[in-house]
Amino acid sequence: MFSLNNKTAVVTGAGSGIGKAVALTLANQGARVFVADLNAENAATAVDEIIKNGGAAEAVVLNVAGQNDVIAAFAKIEKVDILVNCAGISHIGNAENTSEVDFDKVYNVNIKGTYNCLHAAIPFMKKSGGAIINISSIAAKVGLNDRFAYSMSKGAVYAMTLSVAKDYINDNIRCNCISPARVHTPFVDGFIAKTYPGREAEIFEKLSKSQPIGRMGKPDEMAALILYLCSDEASFITGSDFPIDGGFVTLNS
């Protein structure tokens, strides 16, 4: 089950965190993975790890916010069976204190970046079908304090997922998204250290317990769900969002 032999996958934001876990998982199941990331060193490290594990991968240094760069990168890849849009950034702020510069930055990466990759990948997928997984968030469904721009962007990702699923269902292209709650990644550790110096352990425990299950998610857990949605075993699933949140949305009300 869940074999991806002879499949070509593009994973954005694959140099670290959820994206890296996804790239490793898809490669372990037989896919040839293009590890796309803005950070060349991180992308190369992920590729090395995949190759050491017997997989096939290539690094792609990519700024998803630049459409010309994205189109050029996909033109070199030529064959795309799987696209996983993991690249994204977060932001802290409400409607008053979020600057236009910060709002635009979140828009350019999280929304336009997802659009750019969809725009570039779909023409290739129309030749033989494919699977697209976007990363939305619980922030698209519930109100979170000081996540104005981030919530906006993840709501848009969910809406784009539905639109693509509807428009390309007859091209044998499936498009779904997942909505994680907090996932323990290097980004989370860095955010806590920067924002709450000296209180790292306290804040980590508080954020962990905000999920009813009592902990943050793990990147590998996100990757396992994405693997399923990419596989032929999920061939009847499109236009769906999958919460993976330790009960945050349904059990916190």
* Cβ–Cβ under 8 Å, residues 165 and 122: no
* Cβ–Cβ under 8 Å, residues 239 and 176: yes
Output Rg (C-alpha) for the chain, integer angstroms: 17
Q: Which spans in the chain are helix H?
A: 17-28, 40-52, 67-77, 100-106, 113-128, 148-167, 186-195, 200-209, 219-230, 248-251
The DSSP symbol for 203 reads H
Q: Return the closest-CA partner of residue 183 out of 16, 64, 50.
A: 16
150 is catalytic: yes
* Cβ–Cβ under 8 Å, residues 174 and 132: yes
The DSSP secondary structure of 28-96, one letter per residue, reads HTT-EEEEEES-HHHHHHHHHHHHHTT-EEEEEE--TT-HHHHHHHHHHH---SEEEE-------B-TT
Residue bearing tokens 């993840």: 154
Catalytic residue among 150, 168, 196, 228: 150
Residue bearing tokens 């981030």: 150
* Cβ–Cβ under 8 Å, residues 177 and 163: no
Tell me which residues are annotated as active site.
150
